[in-house]
Amino acid sequence: MTEVIDVIVIGAGPAGMAAASWLQSRGVRTLVLEERPEPGGNVHAGALHGPFGASDLLGKEYAKGAAAAREFARGPVSVCHGCSIHRVDGNTVTFSQGGELRRVAAARLIVATGAMERPMPFPGWELPGVMGAGAFQLLMKQSGLVPGVDYVLAGTGPLLLLVACQLLALGSRPVAILDTNAASPFMAGARHAAAMAASPAAVWKGLGYLARIRRAGVRVIDKVVALAAEGSDSVETLRYWRRDGSMGALPAGLVLCNEGVIPNIHLTLALQCRHSWNEAQTCMAPVVDAHGETTRNGTFVAGDAAGILGAEAAPLSAMLAAAKIALDLGRITAEEADRETRAAQAALARQRRFRAFLDAAYRPGIAAVHPIADETLICRCEEVSAGALRQAVRDGALGPTQAKMFTRCGMGPCQGRICGSAMTRILSEATGESPGRIGNRNVRFPLKPLSLEELASGPDAEQADHEIIS
């Protein structure tokens, strides 16, 4: 049996919560599908049951977002937690929850899958003890975990600075921060002075991060152009090379890496929405109109899944998508839609201008600019190196599909989620084609592993049994 509603929202982060709440308040029957056991997304993980959900130890923004997630959980919106999306046919979504398959159809679909950490490949990044700073932040939010060994932060961008300050607030001090920024924040500030002047709170927040790190006496090593993690069973040493040719080594039982985030486009790729290369953010993103609608009719993208703007901007883009859907479904008039979204559009424009400054000020060096050594593993699932991908190009591979066939890159359990962006970069450099022309690997359903037990419990199981018997 297939349930039928008005709108399905995939993801219960800031964008998904905002879109669903707005639609529900206008009488639009809405269902949210969320993989985690509670709302909040990555940015507000642990809001309901984590150790910091009711405190401001991790910052006022996290406390505010956690409060919003708790309010959403008490609200009237229907949410299916702990579910995995397996396929989408038209606007019918098949997903598993509690070991059983369910199917829901809707007039419109909002993809609010948020962002994922930008893969940052370097020799040894597959060693135990090397992980994304954002991934560690999730553990910290959900369990209160802090490093119990000497650790190093490596990368660039606001998220890395935020994690450093949150760890310092919890009494945990890194050995050092290795800054891999390939841009100059000062030059970016000069070019985007007007945007900075229009967002003083955001500027002061960033300056506050830097001041907190400086006051704590954390060693910051800048102009880092290469990294290599070394160790036997797990990471023990992190080597680094600087722009002037000097090198050094730091003891580290834990290395937390981050060079920003990129849109989580796994679902929009599977839906065959058109994507384009975002040069400023050095990533692929779905092509959307002013309301977030993709090239797939009736499918909208809200929040960072459409391009990185941050948690504050996510509800604004969600409101634009929700208002357009409510207008299409005849729940509000054009005048009401314009009145409801006018302020959101102005605020979103300010957010975009400030994001242009951040994109110019923090450019990923390891992931996007500096050379990737041949021995670096790109696909950790299938143990495919950068050198193997370059050899595939020499053997005739012209794009991700052929390179995948030649090397198995992207065929592992993560289905290319981790290696996809690095693969595009390497193929672009090896062929001389732009990343936009290289594009992404093909993503096919099911999106997550599916057990035979789940298939047997699915909505088509009885029909399939009949067909087999007959």
C-alpha 241/C-alpha 227 separation (Å) is: 7
Instruction: Provide the pLDDT for residue 55.
Output: 87
C-alpha 113/C-alpha 218 separation (Å) is: 34
E runs forming strands in 321-467: 377-379, 384-385
Token pair for 63: 């406390």
Instruction: Provide the pLDDT for residue 460.
Output: 67
Q: Count of alpha carbons within 13 Å of 221, Cβ hemisphere only?
A: 24
Residue 227 phi/psi, 5° resolution?
-135, 155
Token pair for 272: 């065959």
The distance in angstroms from the start CA to the end CA of the chain is 21
Instruction: Provide the pLDDT for residue 461.
Output: 54
Instruction: Provide the pLDDT for residue 463.
Output: 46
Domains, the chain, in order of start with CATH, read 3-116+262-332 (3.50.50.60), 119-259 (3.50.50.60), 377-438 (1.10.10.1100)
Q: Which of 355, 342, 393 is nearest to 263 (CA)?
A: 355
Vertex 209, ends 203 and 213: CA angle to 5°?
Answer: 150
- Predicted confidence pLDDT, tens digits, the chain (470 residues): 678 899 999 999 999 999 999 999 999 999 999 999 999 999 999 999 999 988 889 999 999 999 999 999 999 999 999 999 999 998 899 999 988 889 999 999 999 999 999 999 999 999 999 999 999 999 999 999 999 999 999 999 999 999 999 999 999 999 999 999 999 998 998 999 999 999 999 999 999 999 999 999 999 999 999 999 999 999 999 999 999 999 999 999 999 999 999 999 999 999 999 999 999 999 999 999 999 999 999 999 999 999 999 999 999 999 999 999 999 999 999 999 999 899 999 999 999 999 999 999 999 999 999 999 999 999 999 999 999 999 999 999 989 999 999 999 999 888 889 999 999 999 999 999 999 999 888 888 888 878 888 777 766 654 433 332 32
Q: Count of alpha carbons within 13 Å of 194, Cβ hemisphere only?
A: 4
CB contact at 8 A, 438 and 428: yes
| CA distances to 175, 214, 225 from 151, in Å | 6, 17, 19
Query: At residue 120, what is the residue type?
Result: M
3-state secondary structure (DSSP) of residue 108: strand
C-alpha 332/C-alpha 312 separation (Å) is: 25
Strand partners, 97: 83, 100
- Enter the pTM of the model: 0.94
Encode 397-422: b = buried (16+ Cβ within 10 Å), e = exposed: bebbeebbebbebbbbeebbbbbbbb
Token pair for 107: 């007039």
